[in-house]
Amino acid sequence: MSSILRNAASIVGVGETEYCKVGRATRSEFELACIAVLRAIEDAGLEVSDVDGLCAYASERSAPVALAPALGMSELQFVNLYPGGGNSAAGIVHNAALAVSAGVANTVVCYRSLCQGALRFGRARAGHGSSAQPMGASIGGPQAFTAPFGLFSPAQMYALDARRHMHEFGTTSAQFGAVAVASYANAQRNPRAVMHGHPLTLEQHQASRMIADPYRLYDCCQESDGACAVVVTSSERARDLRQPRVLITAGAQGMERGDGNERQSRPAPLWTTAGQASVARRLYRDAGIGPEDIDVIQVYENFTGQVVMALEDFGFCERGEGGPFVESGAIDWPNGRFPINTSGGNLAEAYVHGLSLVIEGARQLRGTSTSQVEGAAHCLVVGGPSAPPSSALVLSRD
């Protein structure tokens, strides 16, 4: 794969709608998807007729079969859905790049629309993702053994991993809070961020209400309404388009042996990890670089503890040292060695299942981020930690 993909495809366009708190969108989820896709195409200097491929999350309700005719797209040569939610953030871009590199498609749009005002996860429904069931409905599979004991929401499920990390390595709630504080600080420079104008201190984090021990309010991602999209085409064609091309140097996806979406089924060695160590190894191998070459990181933060574990999996610190690593200021902008989530991320910009992190990575390499890392040449984008099959990208400046 590396010989086919490395730098053969590029991100050439990005598009977003306004992001807002859950339930405050003034347009339907489908309208938002269409707007984001059109803005990404326009940003690239292309026409709708140039698009011959679409990539979306498997849980995307604005399905490609509806979006393509609504926008008047020509015949599509490639349509792809990546399984899951936030784990898809880098995966759909990776799949688009593979399709372009293999000559299956010329121009692919990756998109995600999410109006959580239409579906409140962990409240009105049990389960997660597109398989969620109305409360009171029959529940099968592994959930039949956990739902009767109250294990419903993602916060409850992922808190189990975090608590185990704390038990084994001495990680603290304040160290999780360092991730939230860094993200909120970046959002204060980003006028697109829902939490722009709402800074967060560690003291506020520690005083916030408990959601699922050890996760407090500010350890949890937002519930948001919005949509975003990116355009992927060949790097050769990208030379002649409107925006500076952002090279897709490498992508990797997959899952560890024995891992799965049900937290209780994870093998014991994975309980204190993001389940991404093998993805990280293949990503760096195919990119021809290591963690020391990364300048800025966009890492999916459904919950702060999963960020700590992902940083360990991707080699920025040793196993069990993620807590002291984030507490040290290494992830802070502008002085940290590895600034993270420079737009504010899922915690403070908006929760659009992580595709906005890819857009922020592209902005960093275009030199247009509101928290620009000087001289950024390589950006790591990590899809949902502890949510297999996971995915990651290395994006590079031309």
Distance CA 144, CA 147 (A): 6
Distance CA 118, CA 114 (A): 9
Nearest CA to 396 out of 237, 291, 249, 281 is that of 249
Distance CA 297, CA 339 (A): 6
Burial classification of residue 138, based on how many CB atoms lie within 10 Å of its CB (0-12 exposed, 13-18 middle, 19 or more buried): exposed
Assigned token pair, 368: 């247009």
Distance CA 190, CA 343 (A): 6
Helix runs in 57-117, H state only: 64-71, 91-101
Q: Which residues are catalytic?
A: 300, 351
Residues 6+ apart with CB under 8 A from 289: 249, 378, 394
Distance CA 376, CA 295 (A): 5
Buried b (16+ CB within 10 A) or exposed e, 100-117: bbeeebbbbbbbbbbbbb
CB 109 within 8 A of CB 12: no
